[in-house]
Amino acid sequence: MTNRERIRLTSFSHGGGCGCKIGPKDLGEILRKLPVPNDPDLLVGTGTSDDAAVYRLTPEIALVQTVDYFTPLVDDPYQFGQIAATNAISDVYAMGGHPRLALNIVAFPTGVLPMSVLGDILQGGADKAAEAGIRIVGGHSIDDREPKYGLAVTGIVHPEGILRNCTAHPGDRLFLTKPLGVGIVSTAIKRDCAPADLIERAVQLMTTLNKNAATAATSTGVSSCTDVTGFGLLGHLHEMTAGSGVGARIAAHQVPVLEGVRELVAAGIVPGGTKRNLTFSRDFVTFDAAMDEPQQLILADAQTSGGLLLAVAPQRAAALRAALTAIGVPVVAEIGEMVDDASGRIHVVP
């Protein structure tokens, strides 16, 4: 019997994946008190809650830097390593960048779990990094009662080719490249009540790099881009609308959702981070009266290694759809559009 068969990794953590993020409201209040860097070569800093920082080195080369780590959301250590690496690398893709190097970030309960489990986690991360063309060149570890893993990733991008989350325009069409629901599935895994086929589909999604989606986005010339992670679709769309000074209209029936997730929500299986996201979203989202709370919770579900959310001019929408389809991204879903509303409000209809 292997370590992966006899150890339930999720039982060693209080939560899982990006659902463990500090809530956006609490985090925002703290970050607003910190100094804002002032450097003409800092092309993307903290001002718009973008996915990564970008620093110009030369007129043609800029560094993209990001860091992400979290507690287990699946029981298999190797899969956990793959998911954590895929999630961290995604932030570079969301900026239009090309990842190059990474450092491991490790917290592990030595003396509680076998060190071979850590070896499996690191191997999963290494294999996914290799798939992305990244070299992991070191890292840092601490002894911690909860296992945690992730990467600090460095990439490169041309200063004129950066994708931002704050450059959308009224009339832009919105596309999503992975279905929602993996946060809800991870809670079902932790409670040991997730169907095996649903776990398999969720893991496949979370270990799919956003590289192809980013390639399609940059080749098409999208207006704006972000990836959907711990703050859910609504939270990350809000960062896009607020930063761009536009509003958005979402058609819930067009938003892709993993099959089986609605049944889990109906059974009361919802992450705490998802509930927190929904509470926060009521400050900037107007839901149609026909939408019940389970539907709202799915739109707020805290994703891990989610898809890219892309805003594209109407005249380029068909080209983006064709490029995404041709390159084989998990889903190609047009879910709504940006509207002329400086308040950044999001309207959701059934």
Rounded Cα distance between 32 and 334, Å, is 34
Separation of alpha carbons 349 and 181, rounded Å: 19
Q: Which tokens is 12 given?
A: 């060693």
Count CB-CB contacts under 10 A for residue 315. Answer: 9
| 98-133 as b/e: b if 16+ CB within 10 A | bbbbbebbbbbeeeebeeebbebbbebbbebbeebe
The backbone torsions φ and ψ at residue 148, rounded to the nearest 5 degrees and listed phi first, read: -145, 150
Contacts for 49 with CB less than 8 Å, ≥ 6 apart: 165, 239, 243
196-204 own/partner pairs: CB under 8 Å, 24+ apart: 197/260, 198/258, 198/259, 198/260, 198/261, 199/74, 201/258, 201/259, 202/258, 203/74, 203/76, 203/79, 203/83
CA 233 to centroid of chain Cα atoms: 9
Phi-psi category of 256—alpha, beta or left, where left has phi over 0 and alpha has psi -120 to 50? beta
At residue 300, the 3 state secondary structure works out as: coil
Among candidates 108, 104, 105, which has minimal Cα distance to 116?
108
- Cα–Cα nearest to 106, from 119, 96, 95: 119
Distance CA 86, CA 320 (A): 23
- For residues 13 and 147, the answer to whether their CB atoms sit within 8 Å is yes
* Radius of gyration over every alpha carbon of the chain, rounded to an integer in angstroms: 19
Structure tokens, 216: 């399609």
List the catalytic residue out of 18, 20, 166, 225: 18
Is 18 among the catalytic positions?
A: yes
The catalytic residues are: 18
